[in-house]
């Protein structure tokens, strides 16, 4: 954290713009987790909230349908910390699972797996 602050201060003194690296999230950033499955009722979805606490939802129900017939759901959090953890874990009862992580509307991670009892993890 001190290194990031020092870099920002030096950059400001030199008049240089600094942007966060890929996957970084800061206070106020919007993190969106999406998960997909071949079935609507699944085992568990875990993700970090805006305070870096792991949220666990057992018997995760995905209420929405994709155009290809799969199911999906999402969770959105607003970062309240200067170093935000961005990870989602998802276990499906079906044969397909996928996840995505977005930071401020930009996709930072995506993963898909096929197989009985598919499970997937995305981190950014």
Mean pLDDT by 10 residues, the chain (124 residues): 38 42 76 99 98 97 97 98 96 98 98 97 96
Strand ranges, E, within the chain: 30-37, 44-48, 54-58, 64-65, 71-78, 87-91, 96-103, 106-114, 119-123
pTM score? 0.80
For the chain, the domains span 23-123
Q: Is residue 111 classed as helix, strand or coil in its secondary structure?
A: strand
**CB of 63 closer than 8 Å to CB of 40:** yes
Q: How many Å apart are CA 48 and CA 61, to the nearest integer?
A: 18
Q: For residue 25, what pLDDT is reported?
A: 75
Q: For residue 23, what pLDDT is reported?
A: 53
CATH number of this structure's domain 23-123: 2.60.40.2880
């Amino acid at each position: 954290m001190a290194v990031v602050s020092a870099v920002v201060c030096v950059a400001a003194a030199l008049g240089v713009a600094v942007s966060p690296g890929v996957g970084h999230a800061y206070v106020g950033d919007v993190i969106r987790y999406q998960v997909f499955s071949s079935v609507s009722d699944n085992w568990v979805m875990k993700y970090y909230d805006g305070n870096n606490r792991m949220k666990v939802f057992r018997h995760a129900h995905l209420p929405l349908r994709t155009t290809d017939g799969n199911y999906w759901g999402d969770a959105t959090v607003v970062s309240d910390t200067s170093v935000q953890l961005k990870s989602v874990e998802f276990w499906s009862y079906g044969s397909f699972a996928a996840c995505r992580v977005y930071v401020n509307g930009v996709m930072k991670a995506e993963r898909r797996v096929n197989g009985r009892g598919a499970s997937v993890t995305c981190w950014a």
